[in-house]
Structure 1
Amino acid sequence: MARSQIIAIGASAGGVTALRAIVAALPGNFPAPILIVLHVGAYRSELPGLLNTAGSLPAKHAEDGEAVLPGHIYIAPPDRHMVVADGLLRLSRGPKENCARPAIDPLFRSVAEHYGPDAVGVILTGNLNDGALGLFAIKERGGVAIGQDPSDAAYPEMPRSAAEHVALDYCVALAELPERLTKLVDQIEERDGAMSEASPQREGQESKIGYVETFARPLTVTCPDCGGALKKFHVGSIVKFGCHIGHNYTAEAMATAQFQEMEKVMRAAVRFLNERAEFCLQMAEHGGSAENGASSEWHAASRQALDRAYKLRDLVQQDWLTPETTRRYAVDPDGRDQARFLG
C-alpha cells in the first residue's frame, strides 16, 4: 500500500470527546496532516484549543488559501465548508449538505480527488449519515476507509451508515484508532481486500473541486406564482409551462414573471442588508465602550452589511438581457396572468 499522505476525520454528536482521545494518543512526530470536520454549525467553536491541550500536535481553525502542512491539525471553522485543492485549504459558505455547514462530505470528496490512494478517511460518532458518501469516494479512489465501531460510539448512526454503504478497510474501537492511523502513515502495509488502482486525478480529467464553485443545472424550473415545479408543453408552435396547482404561462409570459420575481427577491435582499446594517449600528451604540471590543465588532458588521447592500443594489439596477421583450410581448400589470402579443 502506498504511504498515506493525509488524514480526513468527520464527527458529529459525541465528537469532541472522541477527537480529544485520538489526538492525545498520537505521537508528536505524526508525519501526515489531519483535517477535521465537526458539526458545529454557525456556533462558536473551541475545538482547536481543546485539541491543543489534549495532545502535542498543533491544531487550528483552517484559513482560506493556507498550505496543508504535515503534522498539523486543521479544523473546519464554524459555518464554513472546508475542502483541499492542490495542497491548499479552501473555505466557503456554500450550500449546506446533509443539513450541515461545515459538512463532512465536501471535505472527503476533495481529499479523494486530490490525494487518491494516499488518503485516509475516518468516520466517528454522530447522528444521521453525513460522511458516508464522501467516504465512499475515498474508497473508490483507492484510499483507506475507516469507521469507528458503532458499538463503541456514543452516537452510532454515522459510523453504522458508513459500514453499511462502504466496504471499510478497518472498523475499530476508538482506543485502537491512534495506533491504526500511526501504522498507516509510518509503514507500508497491505490493505484488507482488493483496492482499486486510482490516481489523485485521472489523466485528462479536470478537477471538480476547487475554489470557484459552479452551479449544477436545476432539476426543474419553478412557478413564479407558487414555487411549484413547472412542466413544459408544446401546443402547436407555442411553448407553455404549467404547474400542478394550475398556473400556466406561455414561454414569454413565464420569462417576464420569473424576471419580476427575481428582481423582487433581490430588492428584498437589499432591504434585509440595509436593516441588518441599522440593527448592528444600534447594537454598537447600545454597547458603548463594552468590553471585549463588542462595540467595534458591531460597527464593523454594520459597515459590511451596508457595503454589500450597495453592491447588490447596483447589481439589481444594471441592465439585464431580456430576450422575451424583443417579441414585443406584454403582460398584465401583475405579471402573472395570461399575456398577449402587441403585434
Structure 2
Amino acid sequence: MDSDRGRDLVVVAASAGGVEPLRALVSRLPPGLRAAVLVVLHVSASAGSALAGILDRSGPLKAMPAEDGAPIAPGEIRVAVPDHHLLVHGGRQHLSRGPRYNGHRPAADLLFMSAALYGGPRVSGIVLSGTLDDGARGCAVIERHGGAVAVQDPRKSDFAGMPQAAAKAVERAHILDVTRLADWAVDQSLTPASGEETTPDEELRRELSRYLSPRLPDTPSGELTGFTCPECNGPLYEQRAMREQRYACRVGHSWSPDTMVSSQADVVERALWVAILRLEERHRLLERMIGAAAGQGHRMSLARLAEQARETREALETIRALQATLGGAWRGGQA
C-alpha cells in the first residue's frame, strides 16, 4: 500500500447496543470518502443480513454485504454476513466459515488483524458498543503495525466492555463521542499515515491462514492447560505473546480469558438446565411409581420410592437455587 496516502481502510466493530452507533457513524461519513469501510457486527448465525440495508439508508455511502473475492473499494461500506468471518486478503474481501473466534463468527479481531497485516499504517480501527473484549487484540495489532485506533466513549456506550477493552489494549487510542468518530475517520483518510510499518508478524500470518483456506486440525503452539474448549470440548493450549494471553484448541477455536470465562458460564448454565429437566422428569416418574405402589399395598417399595423422591426434590431445589444466582458477575469480563 502507498504510504504517502492517508489511512484508506477503516475497520469497525460493534456488538450489543452497536446498531445505533453504527448508524450515527455512517450518517456522518461524506460522499467521496477516500477510504473503504469494513464492518463487523456480532449477530447470531440464523440472523438475517439486514444491517447492510440499514446502513445504506443511513448515509450517502453505498453499503452492501461483503462478497468473497470482491475488491476493497474507497467510498464503499461492506458488512460481514452472518455466520461468516470477514477478513482482508490481498486487497480483497475474504469470507470464511472457519472456527469461531472469541465465541463469534464473524469476529472483530480477525477482521482487524488481517487488515493490519495487509494495510499496515494505512488502517484505522473503530470499536463501538459491545460486551466483553472482541476487537481488543485486533486493535493492538493495528497499532503495532502503525495504524490508528479510536473507540466510542465507554461512558456513553450502551455496553462499555468492547470499547473499554480496546482502550486498555491501546494506550494511545482516541476516546470519542460517537458523533466525532466519523470526523476522526475522515481526518485519518486525508492525513498521510505517520505510523511506522513493522515487519509482518509471521506467527500471526500463520494463525490467520487457518481462516483463509480449509485446514485439518493441528496442535497449537503453547502449553497444554488441562482446560477444555467450550465450543468443541477439545484440549486447550495457553498462548502468550506481546502481553496477550489466549487459549486455543486443535480445531482452531480461540479465546481471550474474558470470552473463555463467559463461554464456560454458558456451558455450565446449559448443563444446569439439562439437570433441572432430568430431575423434574425423575421426580414425576417417582410420584407415579409411588401411586402404583400404594395402590398395590407394597409398603417396602413405597418407603424406598418416597425416600428417592425426597432426595430428588432436594437436589432439584438446590440446582434451581444455584441456577437463579448466575448473573453478570458469574459470567466474568466486562459489561
**Alignment of 1:133 onto 2:137:** yes
1:207/1:53 CA distance change after superposition, 3 Å = same
Q: Is the 1:147–1:168 contact (alpha carbons within 8 Å) kept by the matching residues of 2? A: no
The corresponding residue for 2:109 is: 105
Q: Of 158, 161, 164, which residue of structure 2 is paired with 1:157?
A: 161
Q: Provide the C-alpha distance between the structure 2 equivalents of 1:127 and 1:206, rounded to a whole number of angstroms.
A: 25
**Alignment of 1:35 onto 2:25:** no
Q: Which runs of 4+ in 1 moved over 6 A?
A: 227-230
After superposition, the C-alpha distances for 1:177-220 in whole angstroms (9 at most, x for unaligned) are 11111111013476xxxx5x225847x99943452144441566
The corresponding residue for 2:65 is: 61
Q: Is the 1:112–1:200 contact (alpha carbons within 8 Å) kept by the matching residues of 2? A: no
Q: Provide the C-alpha distance between the structure 1 equivalents of 2:93 and 2:31, rounded to a whole number of angstroms.
A: 22
Q: Of 122, 125, 134, which residue of structure 1 is paired with 2:126?
A: 122
- Superposed, 1:306-325 pairs within 5 Å as none
Q: Which amino acid is the alignment partner of residue 165 of structure 1?
A: A
- SS class of match (2:57): helix
1:198/1:48 CA distance change after superposition, 3 Å = same
- SS class of match (1:108): helix
Q: Is the 1:115–1:199 contact (alpha carbons within 8 Å) kept by the matching residues of 2? A: no
* Contiguous gaps of at least 5 residues in structure 1: 231-343
1:171/1:212 CA distance change after superposition, 3 Å = same
The corresponding residue for 1:78 is: 82
Q: Provide the C-alpha distance between the structure 2 equivalents of 1:206 and 1:229, rounded to a whole number of angstroms.
A: 21
1:99/1:207 CA distance change after superposition, 3 Å = closer
Q: Is the 1:117–1:200 contact (alpha carbons within 8 Å) kept by the matching residues of 2? A: no
- Shift of the alpha carbon at 1:123? 0.7
Question: Under a length normalisation based on structure 1, what TM-score does the superposition of the two structures give?
Answer: 0.59
Identity of aligned residues (%): 36
Q: Which amino acid is the alignment partner of residue 219 of structure 2?
A: R
Q: Which amino acid is the alignment partner of residue 21 of structure 2?
A: A
Q: Which amino acid is the alignment partner of residue 58 of structure 2?
A: A
Q: Which amino acid is the alignment partner of residue 67 of structure 1?
A: P
- Superposed, 1:195-234 pairs within 5 Å as 195=195, 197-199=196-198, 201=200, 207-208=205-206, 209-210=208-209, 211-214=212-215, 215-218=217-220
Q: Is the 1:114–1:200 contact (alpha carbons within 8 Å) kept by the matching residues of 2? A: no
After superposition, the C-alpha distances for 1:269-314 in whole angstroms (9 at most, x for unaligned) are xxxxxxxxxxxxxxxxxxxxxxxxxxxxxxxxxxxxxxxxxxxxxx
The corresponding residue for 1:88 is: 92
Q: Is the 2:71–2:91 contact (alpha carbons within 8 Å) kept by the matching residues of 1? A: yes
The corresponding residue for 2:329 is: none
- Shift of the alpha carbon at 1:86? 0.6
Q: Provide the C-alpha distance between the structure 2 equivalents of 1:93 and 1:104, rounded to a whole number of angstroms.
A: 14
Q: Which of 1 and 2 has higher RCO (CA within 8 Å, sep 6+)?
A: 2
Q: Provide the C-alpha distance between the structure 2 equivalents of 1:166 and 1:18, rounded to a whole number of angstroms.
A: 21
- Superposed, 1:281-300 pairs within 5 Å as none
**Alignment of 1:148 onto 2:189:** no
Of the structure 1 ranges 207-216 and 123-132, higher mean CA displacement relative to structure 2 is found in: 207-216
- Shift of the alpha carbon at 1:41? 2.2
Q: Provide the C-alpha distance between the structure 2 equivalents of 1:63 and 1:212, rounded to a whole number of angstroms.
A: 16
After superposition, the C-alpha distances for 1:118-145 in whole angstroms (9 at most, x for unaligned) are 1111111001111001111101111101
After superposition, the C-alpha distances for 1:10-51 in whole angstroms (9 at most, x for unaligned) are 000111111111111110111110000000121112111111
Question: Under a length normalisation based on structure 2, what TM-score does the superposition of the two structures give?
Answer: 0.61
After superposition, the C-alpha distances for 1:230-278 in whole angstroms (9 at most, x for unaligned) are 9xxxxxxxxxxxxxxxxxxxxxxxxxxxxxxxxxxxxxxxxxxxxxxxx
Number of residues of Structure 1 aligned to a counterpart in Structure 2: 220
- SS class of match (2:149): strand
- SS class of match (1:160): helix
* Contiguous gaps of at least 5 residues in structure 2: 227-232, 237-335
Q: Provide the C-alpha distance between the structure 2 equivalents of 1:46 and 1:228, rounded to a whole number of angstroms.
A: 34
Q: Is the 1:145–1:167 contact (alpha carbons within 8 Å) kept by the matching residues of 2? A: no
